[in-house]
Structure 1
């Protein structure tokens, strides 16, 4: 049997240098984000959870997800991902800090830390994440570790509701 695990995706962050994003397990049940200057983050999907192939980690159900940062558990609550763009948000609570990754255009999402926007991210679902930190934002290693994990696991961006409705209606027309 050959190993079909993809090689880690390496990205170069302007603030934190080389960051590795790795998808592991037979069915991609774990995403590991690491780097020399950021804490190691592991996001794991529970065995037996129903897998949605449109999501890198396979589910948006928080009951089937475990998030750890340097071995310490954090709370993760993805939105349901329905019609509205905002429903694709992902909330994390870690070390007393609240994070939200929420789509703000078709290709990208913004990272909000304790209510303040600190960066913009894009990822096409291939584990490669592009980050653009906001000028003047005091970005911490934990911010980068969480953001890269969420962008890689859930993707970024989302269509506006009106565009999704147009597509749904066009599907129904002969």
Structure 2
């Protein structure tokens, strides 16, 4: 079943952004007057994984463009640790990383410097809180919203997963 969510977000520094998530096509589009157009999409014909909003974490089945220019996106596999849910982007000599911080949130870093936190439950709705001294640029904003919408944010700590697994084994 196709679920298309289009949300208008008021970013305090970059104005109104549109975040559109199409789970059937496996596509996220982020655009606004003050940010570059970001498109994250799953390869056509690729089977969608239900737990990933864009439908896959396989880098070879994803394409990311910044104003039409193809950009490298590398999501980790998403296993036991929070770090295994990281998503990296390389573009224009910089590296961005979206990395879970807590159960609901992920932090966005550019070249290792923390810019802010994002929250998205994988339904296309995204909120961001920028660090006061971070001074995010337009590309940071577009990429942050696109990655949060496409992969969701947050992850449980490993100890919590272990407790859940043990609980599932006990009758």
Q: Quick one: distance in 2 between partners of 1:75 and 1:123?
A: 22
SS in 2 for 1:20: strand
Equivalent positions of 1:102-117 (< 5 A) are 102-117=99-114
Equivalent positions of 1:5-20 (< 5 A) are 6-20=4-18
Task: Report the equivalent of 1:82.
Answer: 79
User: 1:161 and 2:158 equivalent?
Assistant: yes
User: 1:132 and 2:129 equivalent?
Assistant: yes
Q: Quick one: distance in 1 between partners of 2:27 and 2:48?
A: 13
For structure 1, list consecutive stretches of 5 or more residues without a partner in the other structure.
Answer: none
TM-score when normalising by structure 2? 0.95
Q: CA deviation at 1:8?
A: 1.0
Detail structure 1 runs of 4+ shifted over 4 Å in the superposition.
none
Q: Is the alpha carbon distance of 1:103 and 1:70 closer, same or farther for their aligned partners in structure 2, counting shifts above 3 Å?
A: same
RMSD: 1.4
SS in 1 for 2:13: coil
User: 1:34 and 2:34 equivalent?
Assistant: no
Q: How many residues align?
A: 171
TM-score when normalising by structure 1? 0.94
Q: Quick one: distance in 1 between partners of 2:111 and 2:15?
A: 24
Q: Is the alpha carbon distance of 1:5 and 1:107 closer, same or farther for their aligned partners in structure 2, counting shifts above 3 Å?
A: closer
- Tell me which of 82, 86, 89 is aligned to 1:92: 89
